[in-house]
Amino acid sequence: MPTDDRVLLSVRDLHTTFKTDDGDVKAVDGVSFDVHRGEVFAIVGESGSGKSVTSMSILGLLPPDTADIQAEGILWKGENLLEGSAGRLREVRGKEIAMIFQDPLSALNPVHTVGKQIGEMMRIHEGASRKQAKARAIELLKLVGIPQADRRVDMHPHEFSGGMRQRVMIAMAIACNPDLLIADEPTTALDVTVQAQVLEVLLSIKDEIDSAIMLITHDLGVVAGLADRVMVMYAGRAVELGTADEVFYETRHPYTLGLLASLPRLDDSGREKLIPIKGSPPSLLRRPSGCSFHPRCPFARVPGICNETEPPLHLVGGMAHVSACHFAEDMKNVGVAELREEETLA
Amino acid sequence: MPSYVIRRILLLIPTVFFAISFLFFLFFTLPGDPANLIAGGFNRTPDPGVVQRAKERYDLDKPLPVQFVHYWERTLKWDLGESYKNRRSVNDILGEHAVNSLRLGIWAILIEVVVGIGVGLIAALRRYSLSDKITTVVTAGMSALPVFVLGFVLQYAFAVYPHKHAWPEWLTLRTQGLGPDSWAFFFIPTGEQWRYLILPAVTLASVSTALAARMMRGSMLEVLRADYMRTARAKGLDERSIIVKHGLRNALIPVVTLIGIDFGTVIGVAVLTETVFSWPGLGSEIASSVTSRDLPVLLGLTLTVVLAYAIINLLVDLSYAFFDPRIRLGEGGEK
């Protein structure tokens, strides 16, 4: 396997399957990607596309009795985490890879003070004393912009507002200067005004501790301003992967295009109609034949190759811009405007 | 917080007043004249002169409202009167029986806390295992089994049967009575005392232990699925610390409520257990005072139980704030 010094995390052919009474649900079905040092790598997709499951699989946070994780490798700095001991995995968790969860109210323990929960990181990984841990917790709270940190360190999560709680989560995640921060929908549960603040904190922290961020979101607006590279997921598979500019301006997959067309823009003066993607994501128990997206795709040729053959990810331009569409080449000539036309004709 | 405590203590006054007044009037709706019973007649006609003297001695010749006022006048001075049956001071009877109830109650609660929480926790952590299934079946059975049935079964299994088959002495427990009444630190049985204590304590604890175990299991299972447990795992904590530091205290919140309520119950209302094992506590004494129409004993002991129950409830409510910091005592509404 190639080991590139720039590559921090390399996920190779990840399959995560949930066993249910109705059958096996392939939540992640053969996903591969690399996260480089210091970059912001975004995974984008609708609910149920497998983006959160991908991140949880990396750290082994899924319940082992229902989730089955298979992969050629989950390489963390060249070391396969799937083969690592439980002790090694615990060392990586929190210290080298830290997570920020979606809903900070439920993700923080209601019965412990925020200081204790942040300080716990140093207690686990650095053997800090109670006093040291608390002092560091106050520092971290200041760093993420919480006023009166020395007083608020002794408060409980319910005494904070949503945005402040997410700052606490961030403070907790960065406590041990991790190399990678996995932020799973970090702003979804927050007010729009607060979202921007929290993202700003996240980015400034990233520079401060020099870590990479894996940003998981369904919000392309969030991705646009932040991400270096983007992976778009649909029904457990990667459908497009490239730099943010490539994915946004040289879109080569109809699903990505659909996401972009359904995004409201402030600069279109309200004349442009938003185009929703028709239908809803497929059940992962009964995946459509061929390309999983073909029942919802305005460009699909059905019957034909789209419902017969599963399209592989292939290079469509740039250094590493890949798309899983049979007609990715034709997508060159299609933008959001053309999609609108197509929709009005239909 | 202090104003909350004061308010709660003031609320005790109407609670106790209404509870005791209700019992007072209820007593006089029972058929039969207490004075007749005092004068000696259950099934024979007592001497009218004796009945008259009994009425005068115990106020029974006065109209009911007057009796009621007299009753409260004495009660406020903590003079609970004397037993109709044997003229013993109710204060003495209370002192003697309350201690026995308290000792039995403490042990029942200890069993409930240790066994109930322990079994529930293990069942939750080993969900769907054989031990979990056994726990589910046994606790369902225990909570449905009448206390007196369990009491008799235990008496047979651990006292009567070993005695008949001449088992070694240290294996044989006792079925009846208080025993030698020897204790260390108020509640630790010494000498032979434990042989008398075990069976009634286990019997008294049975239902509440089963309920506590079921509640602990359910509560822990819910906590295990909580997001903050996943956060704890993502921090790199080992499984044991995740359960102990992050799970346990959250899972205990509803169980503490249950145990708090049981505290009042085991001390006051252990009527059946105390009767089956002839344990001279408040419960058995209240039961016998009802059958013998011994009003002062009934009211005096019930008053104590109501007071104890209310005070324990207050302490339990205060303890919530420790277990669940989201609870702010004394502030109205949800926070």
The residue of B126, B132, B231 whose CB has the most chain A CBs within 10 angstroms, and thus the best one to mutate to test that interface, is B231
Same domain, B9 and B148: no
- Residue A167, pLDDT above cutoff 90: yes
**Domain's final residue, options A192, A227, A262:** A227
Q: Let me know: does A226 contact A183? Beta carbons within 8 Å.
A: no
- Mean pLDDT, rounded, for B303-322: 83
The mean predicted confidence, pLDDT, of chain A is 90
Residue A31 inside a domain? The answer is: yes
Neighbour-count burial of B107, counting CB atoms closer than 10 A to its CB (0-12 exposed, 13-18 middle, 19+ buried):
buried
Same domain, A113 and A252: no
Residues of A in contact with B226 (CB under 8 A): 106
Same domain, A53 and A170: yes
Test A121 with B235 for CB contact under 8 angstroms: yes
Nearest CA in chain A to B321: A111
Q: Which two tokens stand for residue B147?
A: 């206390």
CA gyration radius, chain A: 21
Query: Can you give the pLDDT at residue A102?
Result: 87
Residue B188 inside a domain? The answer is: yes
Please tell me the total count of domains within chain A: 2
Residue B328 inside a domain? The answer is: no
Q: How many CB pairs under 8 A join A and B?
A: 66
- Mean pLDDT, rounded, for B250-279: 85
The residue of A109, A116, A130, A214 whose CB has the most chain B CBs within 10 angstroms, and thus the best one to mutate to test that interface, is A109
Same domain, A275 and A302: yes
Query: Can you give the pLDDT at residue B42?
Result: 59
Same domain, B179 and B313: yes
- Mean pLDDT, rounded, for A295-324: 90
pTM for the structure as a whole: 0.83
Looking at per-residue confidence, does B29 or A92 come out higher?
A: A92
Residue B330 inside a domain? The answer is: no
Query: What is the CATH classification number for the domain harbouring A207?
Result: 3.40.50.300
Same domain, A164 and A242: no
Query: Can you give the pLDDT at residue B327?
Result: 79
- Residue B268, pLDDT above cutoff 70: no
Interchain contact A36–B (C-beta under 8 A): no
- Mean pLDDT, rounded, for B134-145: 93
**Domain's final residue, options A180, A202, A227:** A227
Q: Let me know: does A297 contact A254? Beta carbons within 8 Å.
A: yes
Residue A1 inside a domain? The answer is: no
Report the percent of chain B where pLDDT is more than 70: 95
Test B250 with A121 for CB contact under 8 angstroms: no
Residue B273 belongs to domain spanning: 101-323
Same domain, A69 and A122: yes
Query: Can you give the pLDDT at residue A1?
Result: 45
Among A96-110, A122-136, A140-154, B42-56, name the one with the lowest average pLDDT.
Answer: B42-56
Query: Can you give the pLDDT at residue B304?
Result: 87
Same domain, B58 and B200: no
Residue B331 inside a domain? The answer is: no
Residues of A in contact with B326 (CB under 8 A): 110, 156, 158
Please name which of A234, A240, A271 lies closest in space to residue A253, comparing C-alpha atoms: A240
Same domain, A71 and A47: yes
Interchain contact B237–A (C-beta under 8 A): yes
- Residue B331, pLDDT above cutoff 80: no
Please name which of A72, A282, A115, A96 lies closest in space to residue A180, comparing C-alpha atoms: A96
Per-residue pLDDT band for B1 (boundaries 50, 70, 90) equals: low
Residues of A in contact with B245 (CB under 8 A): 120
Of A94, A108, A110, the CB nearest to B236: A94
Looking at per-residue confidence, does A114 or A342 come out higher?
A: A114
Please tell me the total count of domains within chain B: 2
- Residue A222, pLDDT above cutoff 60: yes
Same domain, B67 and B108: no
CA dihedral B269, B274, B280, B284 (to 10 degrees): 50
Same domain, B216 and B294: yes
Residue A282 inside a domain? The answer is: yes
Same domain, A258 and A212: no
Per-residue pLDDT band for A281 (boundaries 50, 70, 90) equals: confident
Query: What is the CATH classification number for the domain harbouring B220?
Result: 1.10.3720.10
**With a cut of 0.90, is the ipTM above it?**
no
Of B227, B245, B323, the CB nearest to A101: B227
Residue A220 inside a domain? The answer is: yes
Same domain, B105 and B26: no
